[in-house]
Chains A and B, each alone.
Chain A
């Protein structure tokens, strides 16, 4: 089922939502009593992390579709989704690192479960691209990539559990990250920001997908004409 949408409409929606979100974060959301201004990074950092998870999940879903129904478009969609996930994952690590610096004074904290989890996932999905570049395009590559993408979503909860075990019992925690106690207005800003970032991710996803589809069609055209 191909949903009829307009890419410019999606992009405009992303623009409006993001601008509104930033305005909300800067002017409307109250400042946190404990952490002060630095808490505002949370409004982007956490939604970016959640969006990365969504993209990895979407990529795994498309991978499943590819394996089950042999949908010819699913492999490309899975690839682009994971690509977006890696971009947002890298952004998570960078914004998380900045937040760690301003909160705890260090650029990296092994005690932050979420950051460590994203590091592991980043390594995993970066290897996905190594996989795709190493195998010749074709059904073998599509199948192997799909299986690997599905492994990824299995890895997410397992890694999270492992890292939490490690930080609880092997490495003593020096800094503990308290989830921010969010008032109603803060929570609304958070959700709005997440919606804005999801729309941005969807927009970037569709743009990249359209670009890659165009590549494929031009290649086909070239073969027909040559």
Chain B
């Protein structure tokens, strides 16, 4: 089971790095909180709970982008990507390890964001939380691969959002639908399908993104 061991090692490395450097996660937490405050001023007085919930998803999406743009930064700055790629493990383990660590960051950010949302705007119910959880899987899977793709380019801070947002549209539809619609089960099912399809495609194709 060395594959899973490799994945675990890689994920642990990223989490430990973050624990020591403390640059990405605090930024994500502060960003999501500030965005929620801005949204209060953006929404007119008689806005519905639905509008606020929609904006929550915007906040989560952009917080995720913030974290994703940092995900390969450490490797790039240290020039370590080649070392990782040459390591004897399966390249897709790099993707899985990174995606897992992003998932942890997202989860921690949401641990702050959801209570804050409940405090500022409206109640958070089970289907919202389930939607957020499933959406996180999709965001982590697709976002990690696209972060690796964007890392090879020039204007990578610009490129990542451009590449990510069209692929994130179905995630947002699924998440918002799960949160506000009466038929949440359909949307949660859809999110599960999205996650399954794209996790598989990302896992299979990551190797090609980092090698030549």
Q: Is B38 an interface residue (CB 8 A)?
A: no
> Among B11-19, B58-66, B111-119, B194-202, which stretch is in contact with chain A?
B194-202
- Is B190 in contact with A162, judged by CB distance below 8 angstroms? yes
A147-B149, A150-B201 given as contacts; is B166 within 8 A of A169 (CB)? no
Interface size range of chain B in the complex:
35 or more
| Distance to closest chain B CB from A88 (angstroms) | 18
| CB neighbours of B176 from chain A (8 A) | 170
A131-B149, A144-B152 given as contacts; is B212 within 8 A of A139 (CB)? yes
The 12 sampled A-B contact pairs (Cβ below 8 Å) are: A134-B154, A134-B155, A148-B163, A150-B201, A155-B170, A158-B193, A158-B194, A158-B197, A165-B187, A166-B173, A166-B177, A170-B177
- Tell me the nearest residue of chain A to B155, going by C-beta: A134
| CB neighbours of A139 from chain B (8 A) | 212
> Among B29-37, B100-108, B203-211, which stretch is in contact with chain A?
B203-211
Q: Is A138 an interface residue (CB 8 A)?
A: yes
| Distance to closest chain B CB from A66 (angstroms) | 9
> Among A20-28, A48-56, A120-128, A211-219, which stretch is in contact with chain B?
A120-128
- Is A165 in contact with B173, judged by CB distance below 8 angstroms? yes
Residues in B lying within 8 Å of A, measured CB to CB:
145, 149-150, 152-156, 158-159, 162-163, 165-167, 169-170, 173-174, 176-177, 180-183, 186-187, 190, 193-194, 197-198, 201, 205, 208-209, 211-212
* Assembled-state Cα–Cα distance A143/B186 (Å): 35
A139-B212, A169-B183, A169-B186 given as contacts; is B149 within 8 A of A120 (CB)? no
List residues of A (160-186) whose CB comes within 8 Å of B's CBs. 161-163, 165-166, 169-170
- Tell me the nearest residue of chain A to B187, going by C-beta: A165
Q: Which of B150, B152, B198 contacts A154 (CB 8 A)?
A: B198
- Tell me the nearest residue of chain A to B148, going by C-beta: A144
| CB neighbours of B153 from chain A (8 A) | 131, 134-135
| CB neighbours of B155 from chain A (8 A) | 134
Query: What is the predominant secondary structure among interface residues of chain A facing chain B?
Result: helix
| CB neighbours of B180 from chain A (8 A) | 170
* Assembled-state Cα–Cα distance A138/B166 (Å): 25
Interface hub of A67, A144, A163 (most chain B Cβ within 10 A): A144
Known A-B contacts: A144-B149, A144-B152, A162-B190. Give 6 more (CB < 8 A). A123-B166, A127-B162, A135-B154, A138-B212, A158-B170, A165-B187
A131-B159, A143-B209 given as contacts; is B152 within 8 A of A162 (CB)? no
Q: Is A159 an interface residue (CB 8 A)?
A: yes
- Is B170 in contact with A159, judged by CB distance below 8 angstroms? yes
Q: Is A2 an interface residue (CB 8 A)?
A: no
| Distance to closest chain A CB from B66 (angstroms) | 19
| CB neighbours of A170 from chain B (8 A) | 173, 176-177, 180-181
* Assembled-state Cα–Cα distance A100/B60 (Å): 34
- Tell me the nearest residue of chain A to B211, going by C-beta: A143
Interface hub of B156, B163, B177 (most chain A Cβ within 10 A): B163
- Is A127 in contact with B163, judged by CB distance below 8 angstroms? yes
Q: Which of B169, B182, B186 contacts A165 (CB 8 A)?
A: B186
| Distance to closest chain B CB from A99 (angstroms) | 23
- Is A169 in contact with B209, judged by CB distance below 8 angstroms? no
A134-B159, A143-B209, A147-B209 given as contacts; is B173 within 8 A of A155 (CB)? no
